[in-house]
Chain A
């Protein structure tokens, strides 16, 4: 009956045994365990406690998930609804004010969401590029020794980043619409570009046969630049001679597609905007909603980027600047070759969050009627009644976009990392 083991006599020994193998220890104790308080002892075992708490959290999580799914299912049944994505093939019946892909009210719901996604992608990508440029400029301006420049940057940052973005979007929308004239009184830039409260209308180029040559030459130019850059770097390491890489390659990259088009016999047809009745016909139009959203996102996000850039630069020890000046590098080169590369290590991770913020903030577009992903999803939901399906799609698309951005920035970060030898 009573199991008699040496462990029972030695407190220290028992404790160690519990640490090593709590389960067997408990089981071979048998009845004798109760008087010794083994029943509560396991609560003080960190390893067991760790496992137990994780199991409890997992069970609760699984239960919560199960509850949500089962509840949704029960309610859908009650509403005579079924879960499915068949509705995506139904005709949408509504139009969008602007779309990058061919879209009309005859297109289906799926295409409406796709068109919305492209609009989100457009404003996000263009917004990220311009916010980065503006952010870097303002960040460096704020570090300037010139009092006027640095305080102008400070005032801009402090005002803009402390006003809610939605409010700024409304302000920009009003600022874009109010001063612009009607269609018939549109600002006319040499009869090709028209600016009115319907947006900016500009000529639109259609490329015919042979235009691939332009693309091919552009690609060749880019590859050539990359090879040239590697070669010139090697040469610099060997001989110390610095070749003007950018001054040579940028003109080539710009000229390449034009040469391609010339060789192909210039297969470009322009469609010029023309005033016809209520609106412009032909050309392409940048709607005021896009312009307002773009301005608001860029100007708002740039303030955060500016602060990130400033903190990144300040974090690089001043000794680095002094050392590079001692080596005879001028101010521009000191900044470009010594300070910025080191600052980038600090800048990139928070910069990634700003890019993600900008992308996600673009969903505020709905407030001013820019047909982005959330706008399209909302309208599709309303016309089809498939709330769960539609918002799951929107959720997955935003999540995927953010994760891809993160992955790219992580890759970029690992490339920019200080290579330690």
Chain B
């Protein structure tokens, strides 16, 4: 009986340990890499090549995170996740962070036990149609069959949009975006709908991209950003501030190329961003280490910027090929919505 009792006790405490993913930072440091949930098939945002090298806007965010946390942008492992699996993977602890063009919605923020750590990309849902349909506007889509990916906000917006405009439609939903695109190509549906950035990316995969056009209407707000578990405030802060640091770097003109010279800058904002110690005329030194508050080293932002780049660099590197303009994703000072809280 005593043996049984100790067995049960051991299991209770053992399970306490097994489930203790509260301190994601410690876990990440212990294993030496970040497990990042990403999209396996969205050009510009997350896609592996035939050698397994991942590229994309969301992917680079995870790299910047790894640089900030572990000092090495290559210490990331990517888990390919489809729309349906993504939140469960994060909830269960299979990934440390989800950086996979996921829309921040109230229900996802309040019922999943997850938290969105900022908005890295402002998007909106749009429609793509074959040019031969002669459709110029989404208002002409009454009765159309629409291909979408299941488990997304896309299928919900679609229902809202058609209901609000008193039009009918037929939904055809698949789990993977490749299947959605294939069905659209084979004429199973008239319209392909997803976030506009996604439409431009998917259009490139079509054999005859010129025969398809993206309609002008944007029917929803899709604030996309990285997601973490609600239970870990420290990890949440790290993810949030890496994004802020990348934006701040763009604002201050700090790039991966000039970050070393910038360390000599006398601009106090840059000094704070790069944790540069300030010397006073009397010889005393003052600390500027903001990494400490995150549980990171002083070079957290420096590493992210040096190894991956600032927001503009990451944007241009990944999304310029899709001819996506900065638009709403320009800095607030340039008419966009990207606005970083100050590092001070």
Contacts and interface: CB of A to CB of B under 8 A. Distances in A.
A182 B155 contact: no
B121 interface: no
A379 B173 CA distance: 10
Contacts of A382: 83-84, 87, 150-151
Interface stretch (A13-21, A92-100, A207-215, A335-343): A92-100
B117 to A, nearest CB: 16
B179 A379 contact: no
Contact of B91 (A79, A96, A198): A79
A98 B18 CA distance: 43
Contacts of A412: none
Interface stretch (A127-135, A150-158, A273-281, A309-317): A273-281
A278 B156 contact: no
B4 to A, nearest CB: 7
Interface in A43-92: 59, 63, 66-67, 70-71, 74-75, 78-81
A378 interface: yes
A172 interface: no
11 contacts: A70-B11, A70-B12, A74-B19, A94-B156, A95-B155, A97-B170, A182-B187, A289-B172, A381-B84, A383-B107, A383-B156
Given A369-B179, A384-B111, A278 B143 contact: yes
B188 A177 contact: yes
Given A80-B113, A95-B159, A385-B111, A375 B150 contact: yes
Contact of A279 (B114, B170, B188, B229): B170
B19 A78 contact: yes
B163 A278 contact: no
B11 A63 contact: yes
B324 interface: no
A151 B284 CA distance: 95
B19 A71 contact: yes
Interface residues of A, number: 45
B256 interface: no
Given A79-B112, A379-B155, A387-B91, 4 more contacts: A94-B171, A177-B186, A278-B145, A381-B84
Interface residues of B, number: 52
Nearest to A281: B143
Nearest to B140: A277
A80 B230 contact: yes
B159 A368 contact: no
A6 to B, nearest CB: 35
A99 to B, nearest CB: 11
B334 interface: no
Given A74-B15, A379-B151, A384-B111, A368 B174 contact: yes
Interface string A97-124: 1000000010000000000000000000
A277 B142 contact: yes
Contacts of A276: 143
Contacts of A279: 143-145, 170
Contacts of A166: none
Nearest to B180: A369
A197 interface: yes
Contacts of A78: 19, 21-22, 113, 231
Interface in B146-187: 150-151, 155-156, 158-160, 163, 169-175, 179, 183, 186-187
A288 B87 contact: no
B188 A197 contact: yes
Q: In this complex, which of B108, B112, B229 has the most chain A Cβ atoms within 10 angstroms of its Cβ?
A: B112
A366 interface: yes
B186 A378 contact: no
A281 B151 CA distance: 28
Given A63-B7, A97-B171, A379-B151, A197 B19 contact: no
Contacts of B229: 79
A59 B8 CA distance: 11
Given A105-B163, A278-B144, A368-B179, A381 B88 contact: yes
A36 interface: no
Interface string B89-115: 001100000000000000110011110
A1 to B, nearest CB: 29
Contacts of B11: 63, 66-67, 70
Interface string B17-28: 011011000000
A367 interface: yes
